[in-house]
Amino acid sequence: MQVLLARPRGFCAGVTRAIAIVERAIEVFGAPIYVRHEIVHNRTVVQKLRDQGAVFVDEVSEVPDGATLIFSAHGVSKAVQREAQGRSLRIFDATCPLVTKVHREVVRMREAGKTIIMIGHAGHPEVEGTMGQVEDGMILVESPQAAEALADVLNSADLAYVSQTTLSVDDARNVIDVLKERFPAIAEPKKSDVCYATQNRQDAVKKLAREVDLILVIGSVSSSNSNRLREVGEREGAKAYLIDSAEHLESSWFEGVERVGITAGASAPEFLVQGVLDSLKQSFGDIEIQELDGADESVAFPMPKGLWESDLAAARGKSLAEH
Ligand code: SF4
């Protein structure tokens, strides 16, 4: 059997930073560290951090006074920020800077008097956080049909749109095409809101789908960008399954399959890909593994103030002095 690996796959810069923030906070301030919502949408990552001392909560009200609270990579609404700031909590924001960019766009567009159409999935925490940057004036649109159904009374010149960062690039484009056709003067973000990592992983899975019969996407069912990778792979003609890890592989998927493609969502760690490769080796003996060419990624985001090496050293010095 031949196995082709998509490139790039797995962790993006926003996920790497968010996980590092939780780990560093545990190191500097000690467990428990509270995290509002899953820091990133991956079950293995969340469990690993839980084992290290992270406590995941749905609401700020569940966090005890004096504790350290981290906002997840998906971002939070202004109301959640205000609630947390009104409590005696030490707060770190792990919102991906590319999500923060969309938050700023929303505020700027509202200040310019625009009604904003957000293209995204209802109920996703990123959508709730982005729509919660302003008090009113935002409409969620999930599909081209919903864009068609928008009221004619909306004035094109008073409209703008933004997108969730992890959408299917093609789906987002379909909605935007309808919006531009119906509202030609609609204002656009300066640069696409669908992030570089989403775009690169979808491009890579399209390339993979042309080469293989079956695609395994490593990622959790709650992960928006992982689900999109599975859909994109399937639309390009390959059978595609989304799995958390090697334990979820089913032997029936491989009947008659000669070439398998593997990719991983932006929140899925590389060791899960290696686990799937090990499992395939055990089941099928010698497998030939090849990584396809793809985009190089060098994006990295800095840690927030208070969690740098110097802070860590200061905190260690303090705790040593206290003993
Ligand atoms: S998928 Fe994109 S927006 Fe989301 S955390 Fe990664 S880089 Fe940031």
Nearest to 143 by CA among 161, 120, 115, 116: 120
Q: Are residues 210 and 287 in the same domain?
A: yes
Q: Are residues 133 and 67 in the same domain?
A: no
Residues 163, 194: Cα–Cα separation, whole Å: 7
Q: Are residues 175 and 145 in the same domain?
A: yes
Residue 78 is assigned to a structural domain of this protein: yes
Domain boundary among 182, 207, 226: 182
User: Is the minimum distance from the CB of 165 to ligand 1 under 6 angstroms?
Assistant: yes
Residue 322: pLDDT band by 50, 70, 90 thresholds? Answer: very low
The protein residue whose alpha carbon is closest to atom 2 in ligand 1 is: 195
Whether the per-residue pLDDT at 68 is higher than 90: the answer is: yes
| 2 CA from centroid of ligand 1 (Å) | 30
Residue 322 is assigned to a structural domain of this protein: no
> The domain containing residue 132 runs over which residues?
98-182
Residues 71, 92: Cα–Cα separation, whole Å: 7
Nearest to 36 by CA among 65, 62, 11: 62
Q: What is the mean pLDDT of the chain?
A: 94
| 285 CA from centroid of ligand 1 (Å) | 36
In sequence order, the β-bridge partners of residue 4 are 261, 290
- The pLDDT assigned to 321 comes to 45
Residue 158 is assigned to a structural domain of this protein: yes
Pocket test for ligand 1, best of 126, 168, 195 (most atoms within 8 A of CB): 195
Whether the per-residue pLDDT at 315 is higher than 70: the answer is: no
DSSP letter string, 133-175: TSSS-EEEE-SHHHHHTS-TTS-GGGEEEEE-TTS-HHHHHHH
Residue 189 is assigned to a structural domain of this protein: no
Query: Residue range 193-220: average pLDDT?
Result: 98
Q: Are residues 72 and 109 in the same domain?
A: no
Neighbours of 41 (CB within 10 A): 29
Whether the per-residue pLDDT at 317 is higher than 60: the answer is: no
Residues 125, 76: Cα–Cα separation, whole Å: 7
In sequence order, the β-bridge partners of residue 57 are 36
Q: Is the peptide bond before 8 cis (omega within 30 degrees of 0)?
A: yes
Pocket test for ligand 1, best of 11, 12, 229 (most atoms within 8 A of CB): 12
Residue 155: pLDDT band by 50, 70, 90 thresholds? Answer: confident
- The pLDDT assigned to 53 comes to 98
- Number of structural domains in the chain: 3
Dihedrals φ, ψ of 50, to 5°?
Answer: -60, -45
User: Is the minimum distance from the CB of 263 to ligand 1 under 6 angstroms?
Assistant: no
User: Is the minimum distance from the CB of 94 to ligand 1 under 6 angstroms?
Assistant: no
In sequence order, the β-bridge partners of residue 214 are 239, 260
Domain boundary among 182, 211, 235: 182
In one-letter notation, the amino acid at residue 29 is: F
- Which residue matches tokens 């639309």? 235
Residue 255 is assigned to a structural domain of this protein: yes
Domain of 41, CATH number, reads 3.40.50.11270
Residues 3, 115: Cα–Cα separation, whole Å: 48
| 284 CA from centroid of ligand 1 (Å) | 35
| 13 CA from centroid of ligand 1 (Å) | 7
Query: Residue range 234-263: average pLDDT?
Result: 97
User: Is the minimum distance from the CB of 167 to ligand 1 under 6 angstroms?
Assistant: no
Domain of 114, CATH number, reads 3.40.1010.20
pTM, rounded to two decimals: 0.94
Nearest to 202 by CA among 163, 173, 167: 167
Residues 172, 30: Cα–Cα separation, whole Å: 42
Q: Are residues 47 and 77 in the same domain?
A: yes
Residue 307: pLDDT band by 50, 70, 90 thresholds? Answer: confident
Active site residues: 126
Residue 19 is assigned to a structural domain of this protein: yes
Residue 190 is assigned to a structural domain of this protein: no
Q: Are residues 131 and 142 in the same domain?
A: yes
Query: Residue range 198-209: average pLDDT?
Result: 98
User: Is the minimum distance from the CB of 195 to ligand 1 under 6 angstroms?
Assistant: yes
Query: Residue range 224-243: average pLDDT?
Result: 97
In one-letter notation, the amino acid at residue 280 is: L
Q: Are residues 88 and 105 in the same domain?
A: no
Is residue 141 exposed (0-12), middle (13-18) or buried (19+ Cβ within 10 Å)? Answer: buried
Q: If DSSP codes are grouped into helix, strand and coil, which group holds residue 96?
A: coil
Residues 52, 66: Cα–Cα separation, whole Å: 20
Q: Are residues 285 and 305 in the same domain?
A: no
| 15 CA from centroid of ligand 1 (Å) | 7
Residue 121 is assigned to a structural domain of this protein: yes
Residues 126, 43: Cα–Cα separation, whole Å: 18
Higher-confidence position of 320 and 85 = 85
Whether the per-residue pLDDT at 48 is higher than 70: the answer is: yes
Q: Are residues 237 and 284 in the same domain?
A: yes
User: Is the minimum distance from the CB of 266 to ligand 1 under 6 angstroms?
Assistant: yes
- The pLDDT assigned to 309 comes to 62
Q: Are residues 77 and 110 in the same domain?
A: no
Helix, strand and coil percent figures for the chain, each rounded to 5: 45, 15, 40
Whether the per-residue pLDDT at 285 is higher than 60: the answer is: yes
Q: Are residues 83 and 135 in the same domain?
A: no
